[in-house]
Structure 1
Amino acid sequence: MRLIDAADFIALLRFESHGSLADLVSSAAELYFLPGTVNFGIGGNYSLDWDTEPEITLDLELKPDGVTIYAQLALGKDSAGLEINHIAFQKPSNDPDENTAFLVKSLNAAKFTKSYPTALAG
């Protein structure tokens, strides 16, 4: 996401070009997660003033199997962060530890991993 200029993000947010933002988020996320796992949410925001560095906030929805995570990605000059606002399990357990274990398992299963060919024995 840092390959995209902050001014471009601001323009896309200001002119509500949600389709373009969704494409950028999907393209960036597919380097790390399976397609469809990370999606642009319902909007975003930016902070830009004469005496500060720009900061971009994008709403995200992470959708590994069985769970939806609503979060906000904050991108600043020297920092980035992800704030989780809500986690919705399709089949929640009464045990929070089981929910956490399921979340970890589901996110790990959604990771994009490259497989490299192994040398065949001759």
Structure 2
Amino acid sequence: MKTCAFSAAREQIIAEAISPVATELRLVDAADLISMLRFECYGSLADLVSSAAEMFFHPGTINFGAGGDYALEWNGRPEVTLDLEIKPKGLTVYARLLLKDKEAGIEINHIAFQEPSEDPNVNTAFLKKSLEDARYTRPVAEAA
């Protein structure tokens, strides 16, 4: 099905773009994230997500969404899922970020393009370009 192929490609684009943010969030102790979710400390979670994103993206590009979830089994590793709103110029992505011990994953719930094209390839290319434009560019170190 064509829609699935586009979804997979878009998830890959988003995963690569926000991987440094996910890496920063994985540095937070899972027990802390779980307790913030359990006790609905959404302001604290929003601050954590903003702090992790501000090193890599323009302000307001990646925000904590409406909630999250967690899995905590006696014999397993904790897993935390955070709802995210990713808002580069021209679109909004509603996604869920899964944080595990040594990995992270992304699941797109919905993408809202402000001016969508009828061609899904054009929309996918626009997603990639918008995320690239929302990133801070690092100045090239000058030769000594």
Query: TM-score, normalising length from structure 2?
Result: 0.78
Residue 59 (structure 1) aligned with residue 86 (structure 2): no
Q: Is the 8 A contact 1:30 1:112 kept in 2?
A: no
Q: Is the 8 A contact 2:81 2:96 kept in 1?
A: yes
1:1-122 correspondence runs (5 A):
1-116=25-140, 118=142
The one-character-per-residue Cα deviations of 1:17-36 (angstroms, maximum 9, x if unpaired) are 00000000010011221111
Give 1 or 2: higher helix fraction: 2
Structure 1 unmatched runs, 5+: none
The one-character-per-residue Cα deviations of 1:70-115 (angstroms, maximum 9, x if unpaired) are 1111011122111111111001111111111111111110012222
Structure 2 unmatched runs, 5+: 1-24
Q: Is the 8 A contact 2:26 2:101 kept in 1?
A: no
Cα distance in 1, alignment partners of residues 101 and 142 from structure 2? 41
Q: Which runs of 4+ in 1 moved over 3 A?
A: 116-119
Cα distance in 1, alignment partners of residues 115 and 34 from structure 2? 38
CA RMSD, aligned part only? 1.5
Q: Is the 8 A contact 1:71 1:84 kept in 2?
A: yes
Aligned residues: 120
SS at match of 1:41: strand
Bigger relative CO (Cα 8 Å, ≥ 6 apart): 2
Q: Is the 8 A contact 1:55 1:74 kept in 2?
A: yes
When structure 1 is superposed on structure 2, of 12-21 and 110-119 the one drifting more is 110-119
Larger radius of gyration: 1
1:3 shift after superposition = 1.7
Q: Is the 8 A contact 2:57 2:134 kept in 1?
A: yes
SS at match of 1:93: coil
Give 1 or 2: higher strand fraction: 1
